[in-house]
A = this chain, B = another copy of it.
Amino acid sequence: MRQQVPPGQPVPPGGEQQGHPVNLRERKKLRTRNALARAALELFTRQGFEQTTVDEISEAVEVSQRTFFRYFAGKEDVAFATQQLVETHFLEALLTRPADEPPMAALRGAVAAAWDGLAQAMAEMVPIELHMRAYQMIESTPVLLAVHLRRSAELEERMAREIARREGLDVDADPRPRLAVAAFSGAIRVTGRLWGEGPDHSLDALRTLTMAYLDRIGPALVEHWRKTD
């Protein structure tokens, strides 16, 4: 079996992340992709990742196995379909933060902004509740956890670079961008877990919990690092 995660993502169609296409072709593709993701997550969460075959997923959507692999680079890849959506939204939000915001404020602002609009985009793919169950599954499936950690590391790296760029620093020379991102990501992870364990599994609950935690990271990292300030 192939099983390896694609290096730079063999970019199957739909890689352009829901750009609300106009023509029928594009809409059809998007529908197939979403249907595959939904079916996959449903099966994964119900019977387990390993216990689900790609054939099952394809059959559920009534496409050939070959088609599945044209939309997703691998079985692991579908499992992260919704994560991918979240990350994309967040990164986009981060890139459009006002230039004068201090690092942690920008990161915090980006999460906040990402929530808006995310819920809708996500719901088109899968019910939020399914996304949440998928997250738990990822955390408890060794193969997926491994991939998740790698993905997180990559995201953090991109965040750190963006923060460094904003502050006019060299990521490799100055440890602060990575430190800030590490602290931020740590908080996000903790709230994610707490939310999963807690009783209220609504998006709003996660949102307020996250914001509350981010506010506690402490003022040490909140200030500008630029000398010009």
Residues of A in contact with B (beta carbons under 8 Å apart): 1-7, 50, 142-143, 145-147, 149-150, 153
Q: How many protomers of this protein does the assembly include?
A: 2
Closest to A140 in B: B7
Chain B residues, Cβ within 8 Å of A4: 50, 142-143
Chain B residues, Cβ within 8 Å of A50: 4
A3 touching B5 by the CB < 8 A rule? no
In the complex the two chains form, what is the Cα distance from A149 to B4 in whole Å? 15
Closest to A143 in B: B4
In the complex the two chains form, what is the Cα distance from A147 to B143 in whole Å? 8
In the complex the two chains form, what is the Cα distance from A2 to B2 in whole Å? 9
In the complex the two chains form, what is the Cα distance from A150 to B5 in whole Å? 15
Chain B residues, Cβ within 8 Å of A143: 3-5
The residue from B1, B2, B6, B146 contacting A150, defined by CB atoms under 8 A apart? B146
Chain B residues, Cβ within 8 Å of A5: 142-143, 146
In the complex the two chains form, what is the Cα distance from A146 to B77 in whole Å? 14
Q: List 13 A-B contacts (CB under 8 A).
A: A1-B1, A1-B3, A3-B3, A4-B50, A5-B142, A5-B143, A7-B142, A142-B150, A145-B150, A146-B146, A146-B149, A146-B150, A149-B149
Task: Given contact pairs A5-B142, A146-B150, enumerate 8 new A-B contacts (beta carbons under 8 Å).
Answer: A1-B2, A1-B3, A3-B3, A4-B143, A5-B143, A146-B146, A149-B150, A149-B153
In the complex the two chains form, what is the Cα distance from A150 to B86 in whole Å? 22
In the complex the two chains form, what is the Cα distance from A98 to B76 in whole Å? 44
In the complex the two chains form, what is the Cα distance from A86 to B114 in whole Å? 42
Chain B residues, Cβ within 8 Å of A142: 4-7, 150
